[in-house]
Amino acid sequence: MSRRALFALGTLVVLATSAAAQTPTVTVTATDFAFSFPDTIQAGLTTFEIVNHGTELHHMQILRLEQGKTMADFGAAMQNMQGPPPAWISFVGGPQGGVPHGPATNATLMLAPGNYVAMCAIPSPDGKPHVARGMVKAFTVTGRAPAVVQTGAPKADYVLTLYDYNYDTDKPLKAGRRTILFKNTAQQFHEAFMVKLPPNVPVTALLEWMGGGMKGQPPVIPVGGIVGIGMGKENLVTMDLEPGNYGLYCFFPAPDGKEHVVHGMVKQITVTK
């Protein structure tokens, strides 16, 4: 074989390897009140991109069912749940929602083989969570997760750490298209619901609006973030950040039954030019 032919063959191999290494994206369509995406997904690092076609805010909480548990076991646990969820439910994250009919939001996370459930726990104005309205879907992850992270994984520009009960970034955020690594170092589950604060609107305005019955339009603009992740779990989120003030919130319940925001897990951060 000629040197030119060998070079051409080598180029094809490199291109094929590079294409195979790219992180696959699963597009999720959210409506009032259902998810639409494939029932089976390949194991490995995966990006979930959620498009909200509903009239209400929706997110995608991804749960892995350990110990061979199934959707039937999950449904029974939901019916009888009092206090913390069973130990066989693992919170692996997922994308927070954006505004209805607005830009898609995303989260990249590692999927091990097994049974999973996606649900939306955001409440409607009447207080009833969307999961209780049927916004829950089972799916299966097949194959074998790679021993190393794919080379096509998004590279983090920033690290945002979640703990009891606060958030910290490794450095100040700057405007532009950024990828943020969210990681939970606490033993409790935590989320990071991220919003853009309009001028002169404090970070507490969202809590006051929710406490007032969620009447009218929310005073903030949801831009993404991650839903609940357990200790040691990580998610990557890519988003376009504009200069200005943003809010971070965690609405998970603490052991005393109070939401983490009540314990102070709400923070205002600034994105600079």
H/E stretch holding 109: strand 105-111
pLDDT at 17: 32
Structure tokens at 137: 């879907």
Per-residue pLDDT tens listing for the chain (273 residues) = 444 433 333 333 333 333 345 799 999 999 999 999 999 999 999 999 999 999 999 999 999 999 999 999 999 988 876 778 899 999 999 999 988 999 999 999 999 999 999 999 999 989 899 999 999 999 999 998 776 665 667 899 999 999 999 999 999 999 999 999 999 999 999 999 999 999 999 999 999 999 998 888 899 999 999 999 999 999 999 999 999 999 999 999 999 999 999 999 999 999 999
CB 175, CB 269: distance < 8 Å: no
pLDDT at 84: 81
* Domain assignment present for 194: yes
* Domain assignment present for 180: yes
* Domain assignment present for 164: yes
Total count of domains within the chain: 1
pLDDT at 154: 82
* Domain assignment present for 234: yes
* Domain assignment present for 18: no
The DSSP string of 210-248 is HHTT--SS-SSEEEEEEEEE-TT-EEEEEEEEPSEEEEE
pLDDT at 151: 61
pLDDT at 147: 67
Give pTM, 2 decimals.
0.90
Query: How many CB atoms lie under 10 A from the CB of residue 51?
Result: 18
Report cis status (omega within 30 of 0) of the bond before 165.
yes
CATH for 254: 2.60.40.420
* Domain assignment present for 260: yes
3-state helix, strand, coil in the chain (%, to 5): 15, 45, 40
* Domain assignment present for 163: yes
* Domain assignment present for 82: yes
Query: Domain range spanning residue 39?
Result: 25-144+154-272
